């Protein structure tokens, strides 16, 4: 299998790459596409939790942003070096935090 990589600047400083394995896992497990995750990463109102509180290594960030094509807030996990790991629909707690961030 050829490993396809998609790149996106999400902070203006960092390129995110998605492996085909990450892309497949994200879609099979959560029905989230790379394009939808990229929209959440590019959201001007995104929240960035660095490092991700659930990270065992301390080397991943959690970005919470809105995907316009999906019309849903997503949690996106990326390695601090720029590798896309996973994304899924945000739970109620993260949707609330996202909304509160937009209102402040």
29-52 confidence digits (pLDDT tens): 999 999 999 999 989 999 999 889
Between 12 and 49, the higher pLDDT residue: 49
**pLDDT at residue 16 in the model:** 86
d(CA 10, CA 66): 13
pLDDT of residue 2: 45
Q: Identify how many contiguous H helices and E strands the chain contains and give both numbers.
A: 3, 6
Concatenated DSSP letters of 53-76? TT-SSS-EEEEEEEETTTTEEEEE
Q: Is the dihedral of CA 54, 56, 59, 60 positive or negative?
A: negative
């Amino acid at each position: 299998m050829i490993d396809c990589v998609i790149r996106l600047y999400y902070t203006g400083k960092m390129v995110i790459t998605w492996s085909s394995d990450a892309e497949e896992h994200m879609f099979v497990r959560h029905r989230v596409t790379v394009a939808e995750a990229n929209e959440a990463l590019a959201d001007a109102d995104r929240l960035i939790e660095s490092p991700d509180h659930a990270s065992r290594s301390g080397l991943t960030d959690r970005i919470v942003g809105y995907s316009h094509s999906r019309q849903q807030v997503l949690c996106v996990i990326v390695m601090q070096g720029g590798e896309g790991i996973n994304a899924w629909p945000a739970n109620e707690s993260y949707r609330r935090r996202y909304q509160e961030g937009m209102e402040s």
